[in-house]
């Protein structure tokens, strides 16, 4: 004789558990954060241009985040890719083009005809534009492959006395150590795309004051551990509105995003956040 067990109590327990988790998540406080415009307000203007930085200032961001590379004539230019193909009407590697060559390129039309004629800016031009208006986070792109970049950046920032706050970050640990030695008064940070253990958190504190971490790697426990060592934690790169509340509940200190937070937190986003996060994780793993 088979023993018939009703599935209703099991299903009810699962539903109650999900409801309690949702309620618990909903009542976690939304912590304040510094808003950081990824390559400027890059959802609304061509990335890493004076137009995108001006738009970020108008929108009230706390910081702009930008990328620097060295031109052939050893000047710091603001661009993300090693090649100009994606964001200009030209071709060629940054390291093989002079500033004069780069300034002849159109860095705005690819985004919208409204930005035709926008130029690749020099770092010094951005510093002049943003001084006293907004903070600046500068990412050194591949400094280990561009001899002299770290020294040149340190010289520029040491000689520049802005009214706005400036920070520098990179994925490359040794170059950030060197930068800190050359410019100890300017906050230095590490970009991270993998987990850190307590040993690394302790050892990096000698030269780094903040960590910029991929948002899928962040957890409440990691942030709590990092705070014990005095780090600020910034999440990158937030591209969807529901993720703002998710990062706020974790307690990050800054959110790097292409656009500002527009949609107010609601019970709907609480309910669908686990599903959306799962989709994002699967897409990331399959990418």
Hey, how many other C-beta atoms are within 10 angstroms of the C-beta on 21? 11
Which of 186, 198, 260 minimizes the C-alpha distance to 225? 198
Q: At 115, list the tokens.
A: 């930005």
Contact status, residue 179 vs residue 153, Cβ threshold 8 Å: yes
Residue that the structure tokens 């170059």 belong to: 175
Residues with Cβ within 8 Å of 202's Cβ and at least 6 positions away in sequence, in order, are 229
SS3 state at 105 = coil
The counts of H helices and E strands in the chain are: 10, 9
From the candidates 38, 172, 215, 253, give the one annotated as an active-site residue.
38
Q: Is 80 considered catalytic here?
A: yes
Residues 179 and 149: their CA atoms lie apart, in Å, by: 10
Residues 25 and 75: their CA atoms lie apart, in Å, by: 48
Residues 148 and 143: their CA atoms lie apart, in Å, by: 8
Burial class (CB in 10 A: 0-12, 13-18, 19+), 162: middle
**In Å, what is the CA distance from 106 to each residue of 87, 231, 272?**
8, 39, 41
Residues with Cβ within 8 Å of 226's Cβ and at least 6 positions away in sequence, in order, are 201, 211, 233
Hey, how many other C-beta atoms are within 10 angstroms of the C-beta on 201? 18
Torsions phi, psi for 254 (to 5 deg): -150, 150
Annotated catalytic sites, by residue? 38, 80
């Amino acid at each position: 004789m088979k023993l018939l067990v009703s599935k209703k109590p099991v299903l009810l327990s699962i539903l109650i558990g999900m409801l309690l988790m949702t309620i618990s998540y909903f009542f976690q406080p939304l912590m304040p954060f510094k808003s950081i415009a990824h390559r400027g307000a890059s959802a609304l203007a061509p990335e890493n241009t004076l137009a995108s930085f001006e738009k970020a200032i108008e929108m009230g961001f706390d910081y702009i985040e930008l990328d620097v590379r060295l031109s052939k004539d050893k000047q710091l230019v603001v661009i993300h890719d090693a090649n100009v193909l994606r964001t200009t009407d030209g071709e060629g590697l940054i390291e093989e083009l002079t500033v004069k060559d780069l300034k002849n390129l159109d860095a705005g039309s690819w985004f919208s005809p409204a930005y035709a004629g926008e130029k690749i800016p020099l770092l010094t031009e951005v510093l002049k534009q943003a001084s006293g208006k907004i903070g600046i986070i500068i990412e050194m792109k591949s400094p280990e492959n561009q001899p002299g970049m770290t020294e040149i950046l340190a010289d520029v920032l040491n000689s520049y006395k802005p009214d706005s706050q400036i920070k520098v970050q990179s994925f490359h640990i040794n170059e950030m150590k060197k930068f800190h030695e050359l410019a100890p008064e300017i906050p230095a940070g590490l970009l991270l795309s993998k987990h850190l253990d307590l040993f690394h958190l302790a050892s990096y504190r000698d030269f780094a004051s903040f960590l910029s971490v991929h948002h899928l790697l962040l957890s409440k426990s990691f942030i709590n551990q990092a705070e014990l060592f005095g780090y600020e934690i910034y999440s990158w790169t937030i591209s969807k509105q529901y993720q703002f509340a998710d990062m706020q509940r974790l307690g990050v200190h800054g959110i790097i995003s292409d656009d500002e937070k527009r949609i107010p937190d609601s019970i709907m986003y609480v309910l669908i956040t686990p599903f959306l996060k799962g989709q994002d994780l699967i897409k990331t793993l399959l990418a």
